[in-house]
């Protein structure tokens, strides 16, 4: 499985008064003894502390597996037992969980937990990770986060539903881990040897929630582009939306995005010694979109003064009323990539505004009529802060997780237009500072040049983070280099379907960067070394 993710993803809410309850482990009764079960179908009806197994079905290799009604199905990469569970830890809860169990001879003895995207609401995103996990012999588990919605950008389910918010924020994944372990114990003769969790975007937030609140659930965690802290991130999205659409003429037509990308690449692409359409570290690129200012009026080959102002605001990141930085900005060099700025920042119905609107409507104000035009930082943000306890990890101190031997790999694409990559860099630094001596040997960060939100983009973006995590947790050295591939179809490459590799490049453990040795193809990772960014 090529372990990174795709989607349009983010997060939810909680009440400050419930912080202690939210941080505490869900009370678990001593489980009844479970007899070993030889046949998949016999798992149906298996009693669980918070629910029951509704169905257990044998799936043959190649059979189409549809994770949600009406969703696109994919062929099963191997035979497995599909266990479908309904959990009801509170009267208001209804959490759908699936556990996929490879045949006993194929099971590697390990569990893979899979995260979601956006506000959750379906099994599509986790099923992609679970599919790859089963292909490699992992028992895999995922959930719908305890609610059903029209899409992962729909938060109507949250209004007036504090228990569903807790399910989404932390309870669904925690109980899914316990459920998977119970089912595994009932199905296999051998014991579980290791458990891992992988998620990107909101799944990255979920991964860090597990590490922070429930350090015993998983032995090691792979967290991509974590969408956190949620209240501040959602507020930054509202501010970005106003920066682009809140001033006359400020919207940047998608047809003009290639102007920004071409100018940024002209300014900085060659700085790493290789001209390849990717800026290695765009944080070091001193690009000013003012070079594209129209000399008079408006035209297709330039930006108006208002459009330049919008672009500068997006690169800079939002600031508060006193001019202080509020959240990081976005990076230059991949603006015209399909699914980047056009989807998230500048296009009609841009996702930045949609996520901010849904969050403030249904988590903060309980007002379906609220729009970002109503946004006021001084009054709205304090309300958002007061309700985020159940949806944001408790800070960068992961000392309990590391003390238990936990390993953490963070990753983020520099071309991400959904969540600013500097946010993850800042979090990594905070973890090292807050988590004690064990942190240095327990966490690694990999930044991916030219990678979009969790997948795709002009840079190599399909890589096997799970293998690196497994080798590290099993006693190998901390990973310092992971090879990523750029395909002609990145989604196909990610899913293991036929796709043509175009380029490979090492991702280096931060703060190191990849540098060409000066000989051999610049499309071959073997011709690059990881080195200090100050070195040529």
DSSP 89: S
Cis ω before 229 (30° cut-off from 0): yes
- Angstrom CA distances, 110 to 82, 104, 143, 180, stand at 16, 12, 18, 11
Question: % helix / strand / coil in the chain, to the nearest 5?
Answer: 35, 20, 45
Q: E-strand spans in 168-324?
A: 194-200, 220-224
Asked if 148 is an active-site residue, the reply is no
Helices (H), 57-171: 124-135, 162-166
- Phi, psi at residue 324, to the nearest 5°? -90, 145
Q: Read out DSSP for 379-394?
A: HHHHHHHTTBTTTS-S
- Angstrom CA distances, 444 to 47, 359, 397, 459, stand at 39, 31, 15, 20
Exactly one of 201, 310, 435, 442 is catalytic; name it: 201
Contact partners, residue 37, CB within 8 Å, separation at least 6:
43, 46, 186, 187
Helices (H), 333-390: 341, 351-359, 377-385
Strand-pairing partners, residue 57, are 82
Q: Read out DSSP for 445-496?
A: EEEETT--SSS-SSS--EE-HHHHHHHHHTTPPPP-EEEEEEESSHHHHHHT
Pairwise CA distance, residues 406 & 408, whole Å: 7
Which is it for strands 110-114 and 139-143: parallel, antiparallel or unpaired?
parallel
Asked if 94 is an active-site residue, the reply is no
Asked if 201 is an active-site residue, the reply is yes
- Phi, psi at residue 344, to the nearest 5°? -95, -35
Residue whose structure tokens are 């109503």: 374
Exactly one of 272, 416, 464, 470 is catalytic; name it: 416
Query: 464 near 1, Cβ under 8 Å?
Result: yes
Residue whose structure tokens are 């080959």: 301
Dihedral over alpha carbons 367, 369, 374, 379 (to 10 degrees): 0
Exactly one of 276, 453, 470, 490 is catalytic; name it: 453
The residues annotated as belonging to the active site are 201, 416, 453
């Amino acid at each position: 499985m090529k372990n990174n993710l795709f989607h349009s993803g983010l997060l939810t809410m909680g009440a400050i008064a419930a912080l202690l309850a939210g941080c505490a482990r869900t009370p678990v009764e001593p489980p009844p003894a479970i007899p070993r079960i030889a046949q998949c179908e016999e798992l149906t009806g298996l009693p669980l502390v918070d629910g029951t197994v509704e169905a257990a079905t044998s799936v043959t290799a190649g059979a189409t597996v549809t994770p949600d009604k009406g969703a696109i199905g994919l062929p099963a990469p191997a035979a497995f037992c599909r266990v479908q569970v309904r959990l009801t830890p509170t009267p208001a809860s209804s959490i759908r969980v699936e556990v996929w169990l490879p045949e006993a001879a194929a099971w590697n003895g390990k569990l893979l937990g899979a995260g979601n995207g956006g506000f959750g609401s379906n099994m599509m995103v986790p099923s992609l990770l679970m599919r790859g996990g089963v292909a490699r012999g992992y028992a895999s588990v995922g959930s719908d986060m305890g609610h059903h919605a029209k899409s992962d950008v729909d938060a109507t389910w949250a209004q007036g539903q504090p228990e569903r918010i807790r399910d989404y924020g932390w309870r669904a994944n925690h109980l899914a881990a316990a459920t998977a372990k119970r089912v595994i114990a009932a199905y296999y003769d051998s014991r579980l040897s290791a458990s891992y969790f992988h998620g990107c975007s909101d799944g990255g937030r979920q991964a860090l929630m597990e590490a922070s609140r429930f350090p015993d659930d998983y032995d090691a965690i792979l967290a991509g582009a974590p969408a956190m802290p949620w209240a501040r991130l959602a507020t930054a999205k509202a501010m970005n939306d106003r920066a682009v659409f809140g001033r006359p003429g400020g919207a940047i037509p998608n047809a003009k995005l290639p102007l920004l990308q071409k100018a940024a690449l002209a300014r900085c692409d060659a700085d790493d010694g290789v001209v390849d359409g990717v800026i290695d570290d765009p944080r070091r690129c001193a690009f000013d979109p003012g070079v594209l200012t129209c000399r008079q009026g408006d035209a297709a080959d330039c930006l108006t003064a208002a459009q330049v102002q919008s672009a500068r605001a997006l690169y800079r990141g939002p600031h508060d009323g006193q001019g202080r930085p509020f959240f990081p900005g976005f990076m230059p060099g991949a603006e015209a990539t399909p699914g980047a700025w056009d989807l998230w920042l500048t296009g009609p119905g841009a996702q930045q505004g949609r996520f901010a609107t849904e969050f403030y409507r249904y988590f903060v104000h309980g007002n379906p009529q609220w729009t970002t035009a109503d946004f006021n930082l001084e009054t709205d943000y304090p309300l958002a802060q007061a309700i985020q306890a159940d949806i944001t990890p408790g800070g960068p101190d992961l000392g309990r997780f590391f003390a238990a031997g936990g390993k953490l790999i963070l990753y983020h694409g520099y071309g991400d237009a959904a969540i600013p990559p500097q946010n993850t860099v800042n979090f990594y630094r905070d973890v090292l500072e807050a988590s004690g001596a064990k942190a240095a040997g327990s966490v690694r960060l990999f930044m991916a040049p030219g990678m979009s939100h969790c997948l795709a983009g002009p840079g190599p973006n399909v890589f096997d983070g799970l293998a690196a995590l497994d080798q590290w947790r099993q006693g190998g050295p901390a990973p310092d280099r992971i090879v990523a591939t750029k395909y002609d179809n990145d989604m196909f490459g990610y899913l293991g379907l036929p796709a043509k590799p175009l380029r490979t490049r090492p991702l280096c453990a931060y703060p190191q960067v990849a540098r060409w040795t000066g000989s051999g193809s610049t499309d071959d990772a073997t011709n690059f070394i990881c080195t200090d960014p100050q070195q040529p």
